[in-house]
Amino acid sequence: MQIDYDLHGIVGVRLVDASPADGAVVSRQLGPIESPLVREPELVVRFVDRLPTHGRLRLLGRDESGFTDDAFYVLRSKHTTGVRVRIPFGEIGGRCELVCERGVPAVPWLIPIVNLTALARGVVPLHAAAFNYNGSGVVVTGWSKGGKTETLLAFMARGAQYVGDEWVYISGDGRRACGIPEPIRLWDWHLSELPEFRARVRLKSRLRLKVLGMLRATCSHGTSPLFAKASQLIQRQCGVDVAPERLFGASTKPATANFDQLFFVASHESPEIRVEPIDPQDAARRMSFSLAYERREFMALYRMFRFAFPNVENKWIDQAEEIERERLLRAFEDKPAYVVFHPYPVSIPALADAIEPLISAGDERRTDSASSVESPPVVPFVRERVAAL
């Protein structure tokens, strides 16, 4: 069957010959954005029972990828081994067709390819969360694990409207932001902080987190290094992916917003939450490196492709960092911007208390630069160990 997805008119994705299971896999990756396309899709994913290779397949890495005289194949992804997907790296950014064997748990590298296609269409994908609150469109960005999801959860609990988490797409003029409603990763301590959201997580997932929490508590009392290692391994499993429409319900609409204010979040060793004005251009330059970091594994695969086909270039991949920096500088220019330093884990309600006074109402929105704003007070917060579920 054929299934279309439309990412706010920016990138159209079409699945061809997909089974219901294949469609469900992609819907988990992209979120519920199925919509018939009235234009030709920018990205086609064609599913086949078995992907043949023409000619001798030469392997790269530990069976990570391979190539023939005319095609490049991904043979392993972070989700599983035994994957076989043909990716035409030279065509990414324009009309591009991936050919994927049925039954994969996820289409490898789908989000990076969607992001590069959006970049080629004048939009900058940003590793961020975004929401509407108090009449203002807020974008929260920073390094991976810096507190973007925590900030989103804090304001969703106070009645904000969801726009996106993980990836937010900023228009070329910097005025609009839209999101991709992919599942949100929640950790056990998130649910302890926000019991109103815990009730919306499936019972099976809550029970799994409770058991893992008990095992982690048991390991924490052990003195052997093996207990410490086991505790760390368990900690990495103490999360659950939840669809935003399940977590936030009707608040997932609308999925677009004006881009009015910017918050740059980062954790620090102090037990305080500190909020200070930041030069938005400084935030833009920093985030260009964050985006390059998020693309690092995809770029490793692209280098394998260039090894296989040294004469085939792709300017959208080769020049992505430069293009992103230029567009971020333009999009962030003159935005009221603040940096939020916080301990980790952080009291999510305290995080909202620190930020909320700085979110301007729609009819009171500032037009001057955030650099001229007096620093808000420090919000004291004593870090406490978060109890297991």
The answer as to whether 308 is a domain residue is no
Helix (H) or strand (E) holding 43: strand 43-48
Closest listed residue to residue 107, CA positions, set 219, 228, 3, 36:
3
Domain shared by 115 and 139, yes or no: no
Q: Which residue has the higher pLDDT, 306 or 181?
A: 306
Helix (H) or strand (E) holding 242: strand 239-242
Q: Which residue has the higher pLDDT, 321 or 61?
A: 321
Q: What is the pLDDT of residue 231?
A: 67
DSSP symbol at 273 = B
The answer as to whether 229 is a domain residue is yes
Q: What is the pLDDT of residue 54?
A: 85
Domain that holds residue 66: 3-121
Q: What is the pLDDT of residue 80?
A: 56
pLDDT confidence bin for 76, thresholds 50/70/90: confident
Q: Of 242, 259, 274, which one is at a domain's C-terminal end?
A: 242
Residues 165-205: pLDDT tens digits?
999 999 999 999 999 888 999 998 898 899 999 889 999 98
Distance CA 246, CA 265 (A): 26
Contact partners, residue 371, CB within 8 Å, separation at least 6:
277, 278, 279
Domain shared by 132 and 202, yes or no: no
In 3-state terms the chain splits into helix, strand, coil percentages (rounded to 5) of 35, 25, 35
Q: Of 71, 94, 121, which one is at a domain's C-terminal end?
A: 121
Distance CA 273, CA 129 (A): 19
Domain shared by 206 and 235, yes or no: yes
CATH at 364: 3.90.228.20
Which residue is listed with tokens 């095992």? 215
Residue 36's Cβ-count burial label (10 Å; 0-12, 13-18, 19+) is exposed
Residues 32-71: pLDDT tens digits?
899 999 999 999 999 999 998 888 999 998 888 999 999 9
pLDDT confidence bin for 381, thresholds 50/70/90: very low
Domain shared by 198 and 169, yes or no: no
Distance CA 23, CA 20 (A): 5
Domain shared by 97 and 129, yes or no: no
Tell me: pLDDT of 10 over 90.
Answer: yes
Which residue is listed with tokens 């330059």? 285
Domain shared by 140 and 217, yes or no: no
Domain shared by 350 and 232, yes or no: no
Contact partners, residue 319, CB within 8 Å, separation at least 6:
none
Considering its fold, how many domains does the chain have in total?
3
Closest listed residue to residue 261, CA positions, set 179, 364, 346, 167:
364
pLDDT confidence bin for 370, thresholds 50/70/90: very low
Q: What is the pLDDT of residue 255?
A: 79
Domain shared by 111 and 133, yes or no: no
Q: Of 242, 267, 284, which one is at a domain's C-terminal end?
A: 242
The answer as to whether 303 is a domain residue is no
Exposure class string for 298-328: b at 16+ Cβ within 10 A, else e: beebbebbbebbeeeebebbeebeebbbebb
The answer as to whether 109 is a domain residue is yes
Q: What is the pTM of this model?
A: 0.88
Domain shared by 116 and 128, yes or no: no
Domain shared by 329 and 201, yes or no: no
Distance CA 358, CA 377 (A): 11
Distance CA 321, CA 308 (A): 23
Tell me: pLDDT of 92 over 80.
Answer: yes
Domain shared by 104 and 192, yes or no: no
The answer as to whether 147 is a domain residue is yes
Q: How many residues does the chain have?
A: 389
Angle at 46 between CA 44 and CA 51, to 5 degrees: 140
Helix (H) or strand (E) holding 170: strand 167-170
The answer as to whether 383 is a domain residue is no
Which residue is listed with tokens 């004593």? 382
> Peptide bond before 36: cis, by omega within 30 degrees of 0?
no
The answer as to whether 208 is a domain residue is yes
Q: Are 130 and 140 in contact (CB under 8 A)?
A: yes
| Pair of tokens at residue 140 | 């929260």
Domain shared by 219 and 85, yes or no: no
- Average the pLDDT over each of 131-145, 158-172, 179-193, 357-371 and give the range with the smallest value: 357-371
The answer as to whether 105 is a domain residue is yes
